[in-house]
Amino acid sequence: MPQRLPDIDPRLLRAFVAVAEDLHFTRAAARLYVAQQALSRDVRRVERELGAELFVRTTRQVSLTADGVRLLPYARRVLAAYDELAAAWTHDERPLLVDVGSPVSTASRLLARAREIAPDVEFVARFHSGLTGGAAEIVAGRLDVSAGRIAGLAPEVLDLLGHRPVRFERMAVLLPEEHRLAGLDEVPLDALAGETLYAAAGNPATAEWTDLAARLFAGRGIALAESFPEIDGEEEFARVIRKRRWSVLASTVFIGVPGMVLRSLVEPVPLSPISLVWRKSLRHPGLSALHQAIDEGVASHGWLDMPAGAWLPAVDMAMCGQIRGRYEQL
């Protein structure tokens, strides 16, 4: 008879998954709000119960062993099933935690409308800097809903999430007022040849945005600004980019920065595809209100209409088209 695996406490599996995703015990412990020693102890217990070493630990880095790589997708599915079970038996109407990224964003606009649609539901806004970071928080159970470019997420993470297209935002460039292109109403993409634009390189929470920028800049002579640590907050963002005299890849839905101007990009018209993302097991009246807000935005404002001369990476076009088609048939 095959050997029966021991029943592993879901808490221990969460410890393993957190370290596997961060490949750093200190960061994983902070993410789970536990002491690093306790986290290390939990991981060791998983290894003992499975009879396998899951991580290679050195003084400089942590990496997954072959057994760790093998376990990770199974652990994620087990935790997702536990979350579904918890959601099915949770009867209190707890607040819905919604990542809007920034006070000026499509997600922020959705949240404002959802609050009007469902005034008795408590929505609590969170302000993560990108969907890669927001999705990790959803998978870890510390966030309910986020928004952004799903094509930039790892497939094994996206598999745990529900998602639907919301809007194709037009991309733009944020320029210093004295920039040679600042006087234009719209900036042709080819006019940025030789320029260096900031697109959040070095911030792991916004990896999907940096990837979109790299795809847009490829072959056009536009360079990505060097990696820089995550910039937290609007005031600090404005201070850093003004000090470094960066031009910034943005969308037309963006915060105002004193001394800088926002100009739409054209020839082609690059788009930033925004999708709503939530944990697959989530059942909450607030999520229903967000879906209604999306329906209204799409119907009334043409959020999913694509302008003439639009540009999207092929992977985004295929993914958004398939999901959009499913929703239009409902």
Give which of 32, 16, 31, 29 is closest to 73, Cα–Cα: 16
pTM, two decimals, is 0.72
Is residue 3 predicted with pLDDT exceeding 70? no
Domain 10-88 has CATH 3.40.50.300: no
- Which tokens belong to 234? 């609007």
- pLDDT tens string 88-139: 665 446 899 999 988 889 999 999 999 999 999 999 999 877 999 999 999 8
DSSP at 182: T
> How far does the chain reach from its first CA to its final CA, in angstroms?
48
**Is 323 exposed, middle or buried, given 0-12, 13-18 or 19+ CB atoms closer than 10 A?**
middle
DSSP at 128: -
Characterize 134-173 residue by residue with b for buried, 16 or more Cβ atoms within 10 angstroms of its Cβ, and e for exposed: bbbbbbbeebbbbbbbbbbbeeebbebbbbbbbbbbbbbb
- pLDDT tens string 170-219: 999 999 999 999 999 999 999 999 999 999 998 888 999 999 999 999 99
What percent of the chain is predicted at pLDDT more than 90? 61
Task: Tell the CATH topology of 170-270.
Answer: D-Maltodextrin-Binding Protein; domain 2 (3.40.190)
* Residues 278, 166 contacting (CB under 8 angstroms): no
The domain locations on the chain are 10-88, 96-168+272-328, 170-270
Q: Which CATH class is domain 96-168+272-328?
A: alpha beta
Give which of 30, 62, 48, 224 is closest to 140, Cα–Cα: 30
pLDDT reported for residue 328: 47
pLDDT reported for residue 330: 42
Is residue 327 predicted with pLDDT exceeding 50? no
Omega cis (within 30) before 268: yes
Given this chain, do its domains 96-168+272-328 and 170-270 carry the same CATH topology?
yes
* Residues 90, 102 contacting (CB under 8 angstroms): no
What whole-number distance in Å separates Cα of residue 272 and Cα of residue 316?
Answer: 9
- Which tokens belong to 27? 């960061």
Bridge-based pairing of strands 196-198 and 247-251 is: parallel
What whole-number distance in Å separates Cα of residue 249 and Cα of residue 170?
Answer: 11
Give which of 153, 155, 152, 135 is closest to 144, Cα–Cα: 135
Mean residue pLDDT across the chain: 89
